[in-house]
Amino acid sequence: MMRYLLLGLTVFVLTVAGKWWFDSQPATELPSVALSLQTPCDLRQAPCVASDAQGRSVRFSINPASIPLMEELTIQMDTSGLAEVNNVRLTVEGVNMFMGYQYAELKPSGPAQFQGKLILPVCTLERMEWLATLDVFTPDTKLQAKMPFITISSKALPPFNQDLMK
C-alpha cells in the first residue's frame, strides 16, 4: 500500500513540475493568418480555394467527391504563393452534431502538393454538416482556411431506442 502511495505522490510531483516548466517557457506561437474562402465552395462538386491579399492560396479537395462515411478518403491540397511549407494539418469536426475531431497529417506529394488520408464516422443524421480546418505552417506564419462541407448517408444509424434499455 505504501509503495502505491509513494508512486502516486511521485507522479503528482512530476506532473506539477512539468506543468511549471512548460508554463515558464517563452511562447513561440506563430502569427496566424486567416485565408478567405472563395465562393461558391462545394467539395462534393469541385475543389475549394482559400486565399489572402498577399497572393497566398490553398486549393483543397476530398476524393471520392461523394465523400462517403466510414471509407478512406484522400485529402489533396495544393499551395500557391508559399515559398516553404513545414507542416500541414487538417481537423474535421461536426457542425450539426458533435462527432469528435478527425485529424489528418498531409505529407508532401509533389511540388507545392500535399496529400493525406481521413475516415469520417457515420452518425444518426442522414445529412451531416462538417467544418474542415486546414492549418498550413510556414517558417514564419500559420495560415488557416476553414471549409464547410456536407455528407449525405443513406446508411445513417437509426436513432437510439431508449426502450431497449428497460
- 75-134, pLDDT tens digit by residue? 999 999 998 999 999 999 999 999 999 999 999 999 999 999 999 998 888 899 999 999
As a dihedral over the C-alpha atoms of residue 120, residue 143, residue 38, residue 55, rounded to 10 degrees, the angle is: -150
The fold adopted by the segment(s) 32-152 is Immunoglobulin-like (2.60.40)
Residues of the chain with pLDDT > 70: what percent? 77
Q: Considering only CA atoms, which of 26, 25, 27, 51 is closest in space to residue 38? A: 51
Model's pTM, two decimal places? 0.74
Q: Which three cell numbers stand for residue 40?
A: 461558391
Q: Which three cell numbers stand for residue 113?
A: 502538393
How far from the centroid of its chain's Cα atoms is residue 153's Cα?
21
Please tell me the least confidently modeled range out of 6-20, 42-56, 113-127, 139-153: 6-20
Residues of the chain with pLDDT > 90: what percent? 64
Distance CA 148, CA 41 (A): 8
Q: Where are the domains of the chain?
A: 32-152
Q: Which three cell numbers stand for residue 101?
A: 475531431
